[in-house]
Amino acid sequence: MMDLIAVGREPRQRWRIRLQPGESYCLGRDHEGLLVVPWDPRISRRHARLTLNNDRLSVQALPETRNPICFGGQDVETCELLPGEHFVIGETSFQLENAQWSAPTPATSPVDEVTFSRQALQGVRFRDADKRIEVLSNLPEVIWGARTDPELLSRLVNLLLAGIVLAEAAAIVSWNGNELKVLHWDRRRETAGELHPSTRLVREAIGVRKQSVLHVWEHASAHAANYTLAANSDWAFCTPVLGSATEGWGLYLTGERPRILGAAENLSTTVVSLEADVKFAELVSEIVSSVRRLRQLERQQSGLRQFFAPAVLAAVGENLDTGLLAPREADVTILFCDLRGFSKQAELARSDLLGLLDRVSQAMGIMTKHILAYGGGIGDFLGDAAMGFWGWPVDAPRGPLDACRAALAIRADFDALNHQPDHPLANFQMGIGIANGRAVAGKIGTNELVKVTVFGPAVNLASRLEGMTRQLRVPILLDETVAEMIREKLARQEGRVRHLARVLPFGMETPLLVSELVPPLHVDPALSDSQLASYETAVEHFIAGRWEMAHEALHQLPASDKAQDFLAVLIAQHSRQPPPGWDGIVRLPSK
């Protein structure tokens, strides 16, 4: 691997970026790539294409380039660099360096080791507070503005060198308990050679003490050639960056003792001269940890917003971890919503499948919007169906009410679109089944594929109820638990419910009394409250075997009410007389 080093006119105008073999990079002043040079106006927005092949860097000027690339004293369109060579654009030089490094423990022990507690550093005063505050004020933008981790590391190292003038080199290091890794490093003078951080120092600061640790050696000129630090460095300190988002990270600074103190100054004087720099590094560490944690949380919640409502995320809190997503049993409410007419639409749209996909996506968007709006989670998408759930990861005792509110809102949107003939969703209908009960919810899957979903009897029942909406000719069906809660706790201005029949779903052993969720009277005036009561009276007669009386009660309903057809057809097929051995249960012949 190779490092590309950019150096402008000002001390802060520099970066070092690790290049990967075989990768191609765009170098420019203002673009969405990795090699950004914002300080030089003579560099075009997209200036050159760089490709690393083994130990050679190919540089190719792009067509929109205004100013030339200077290599070997000549203006060129293309050039090829070996390690140690450089090219120039405008007032910025770009040098290729070998990125290999090693980090042996120093051959000699430090003359002095000092550990800094944060409490002790609170009383340390900055010699140049204005400059330090100016540098720190840029730190949040440095972190938030970095699009990739390599860019972030490069920006952090540049900021450390700008804020700690005594440091000749800086690095972001990591320690995993056994191995030291240099994530990124840079130094003020490239002629000083590679940076070799002290394993002993990093291990002590990050792995053992979890505090800033300073090592001071005798002056480097007195050491042999295998001395770990560069020739102009005789002190180094490492400050750990605490927090889960930066676990194992450390800020590593190294440099030469201030010459103004004389060659034979007391080592304690060196420690005092570096206290303010250690405090600065501590501040940088705290800000980096906080902002990285916020970025991690934002990415985490951004992904979870696809599955959970804001109210659920708020209830879980900021300290969300994947352990909360572990599968567990819970009382959940399940909503299954399926598109009607999808197969017919797919047949008609064989020549425009992408258009059909867009229409289905719009329909799924309606379902998802209302499930999330009423506090539910998205458990799965199954072709042209969506599954919502309430009751996990936080308990939802009012989940059945919210699920019904979401169902009514979905129905209302589809009904409204069916009155717009030119709308892409005008010909779609939907069926919804809602059930409540025990289920396993959580992060379910294999090592290769994981999703947040729910499975169990309640899920199966909700799916069956959705399927039964076709046979019972209604849009929304509820199980007994949900229907009972709706009767007791949902205001009739929001929605109404009526029993439809006692049925035994195909393939199941336990019959259930299914109910329809009906919009409120001001939304669906075609069905009055007295007509709903007449229907339920007809259901009572039907279950009890009084089919003649059931027939009379059904005749009080408007012809537009399709739900009555289910019972009316059965009654007519048996000449208004229940079959022998009638037990009040309709056994459905299919799903």
Does pLDDT of 200 surpass 80?
Answer: yes
Does pLDDT of 71 surpass 80?
Answer: yes
pLDDT in tens, 391-409: 988 888 999 999 999 999 9
Q: Which amino acid is at 535?
A: Y
Question: Which pLDDT belongs to residue 264?
Answer: 45
Question: Which pLDDT belongs to residue 395?
Answer: 86
Rounded to whole angstroms, the maximal C-alpha distance in the chain is 116
**Of the candidate ranges 4-8, 77-81, 97-101, 168-172, the one whose mean pLDDT is the lowest:** 97-101
Distance CA 110, CA 233 (A): 13
Strands, E assignment, 189-307: 212-216, 235-241, 249-255
CB 169 within 8 A of CB 196: no
Q: Which amino acid is at 246?
A: T
More confident residue, 38 or 150: 38
pLDDT band at 176 (very low <50, low <70, confident <90, very high): confident
Distance CA 121, CA 125 (A): 9
**Of the candidate ranges 212-226, 231-245, 409-423, 521-535, the one whose mean pLDDT is the lowest:** 212-226
Q: Which amino acid is at 392?
A: W
**Cβ neighbourhood burial of 273 (10 Å; 0-12, 13-18, 19+):** middle
Question: Which pLDDT belongs to residue 107?
Answer: 46
More confident residue, 493 or 17: 493
Does pLDDT of 552 surpass 50?
Answer: yes
pLDDT in tens, 474-525: 999 999 999 999 999 999 999 999 999 999 988 888 899 999 999 999 999 9
Q: Name the CA radius of gyration of the chain, rounded.
A: 35
- What torsion do the CA atoms of 138, 144, 146, 147 make, to the nearest 10 degrees? -160
Question: Which pLDDT belongs to residue 189?
Answer: 72
More confident residue, 362 or 93: 93
DSSP track, 388-439 = EEESSSS--TTHHHHHHHHHHHHHHHHHHHTT-TTSTTTT-EEEEEEEEEEE
Average per-residue pLDDT in the chain? 81
CB 225 within 8 A of CB 114: no
**Of the candidate ranges 142-156, 364-378, 425-439, the one whose mean pLDDT is the lowest:** 142-156
pLDDT band at 148 (very low <50, low <70, confident <90, very high): low
**Mean of pLDDT values over 432-441:** 93
Question: Which pLDDT belongs to residue 100?
Answer: 52
Distance CA 451, CA 368 (A): 16
**Mean of pLDDT values over 310-319:** 56
pLDDT in tens, 79-109: 999 988 899 999 999 988 876 544 444 445 6
pLDDT in tens, 262-283: 444 556 677 777 888 888 888 8
**Of the candidate ranges 88-92, 147-151, 322-326, the one whose mean pLDDT is the lowest:** 322-326
Omega of the bond leading into 83 within 30 degrees of 0 (cis):
no
Q: What percentage of the chain reaches a pLDDT higher than 90?
A: 34
More confident residue, 447 or 110: 110
Does pLDDT of 197 surpass 60?
Answer: yes
DSSP track, 524-561 = -TTS-HHHHHHHHHHHHHHHHT-HHHHHHHHTTS-TT-
pLDDT band at 221 (very low <50, low <70, confident <90, very high): very low
Question: Which pLDDT belongs to residue 68?
Answer: 92
More confident residue, 48 or 193: 48
Q: Enumerate domains of the chain plus CATH numbers.
A: 2-98 (2.60.200.20), 112-299 (3.30.450.40), 317-587 (3.30.70.1230)
Distance CA 522, CA 322 (A): 45
Distance CA 416, CA 394 (A): 33
Question: Which pLDDT belongs to residue 503?
Answer: 93
Question: Which pLDDT belongs to residue 135?
Answer: 72
Question: Which pLDDT belongs to residue 498?
Answer: 95
